[in-house]
Amino acid sequence: MLRALALLPLLLPLAATAGSPFLPSRAQFDALFPERIAFYTYEGFVEAVRQTPGFADADSDTERRQEMAAFLGQIAHESDQLRAQREYRRENWGNYCRDDARLSCAPGQQYYGRGPIQLSWNYQYKAAGDFLGIDLWADPDRVARDSTVAWRTALWYWMTQPGESRAPAHAALRGGQGFAATTRAINGPLECDKPGDAEALRKNKRRIDFYKHASQMFGVPLLHPLGC
């Protein structure tokens, strides 16, 4: 009986009503990311979700949970289980400036991966900042200093950016294209449609494993296809 009671917090997400987002409980969040660094606060995550209309707020409670599971599964891979505040490979930090007639790079700034989804490139920082109403082009490191901003950039990408796919991850899920379509929107050219590429297959499996774990915790069925 005591053992069952000890597990109870994992089964109690924050209450959601129709039209409001599903939010995992703090205990669930901690269980999904047991080694996360202090920067990725639960409070920052919750605030960012509440500032993102449309995310994980479908009419069906199951669909709300499924989108949250897919998002957190992808985030777990992208951020090394919320342990990567900034891109690990410092040798690549200066490689993300597309300086052309449309957009330059701010003096002294670098646009390497930061945050839960590892936001990269000057044009992505500019677009995310414009959407959020803050200047991330001039101050890209704010994504690695402000937890809520970091989470909001990840949700901005999830909701609005198709990458090399036909639709952003959010729209692809709502359109019934499965978890595979979210991977395609995030990193399609490097990981999808490569059956003979061992590294691409490894990364795809890692995303799927994280997604399965979150889906099991939230008590919802998987959205197939899983692999892209």
Residue with tokens 């200047």: 135
- Alpha carbon 168 to its chain centroid, in Å, reads 12
Instruction: Determine whether 78 is an active site residue.
Output: yes
CB 40 within 8 A of CB 147: yes
Task: Say which DSSP state 216 is in.
Answer: H
For 161, left (φ over 0), alpha (ψ -120 to 50), or beta? beta
Of 78, 91, 164, 199, which is the active-site residue? 78
What are the backbone dihedrals phi and psi of residue 117, each rounded to the nearest 5 degrees, phi first?
Answer: -110, 10
Catalytic positions are 78
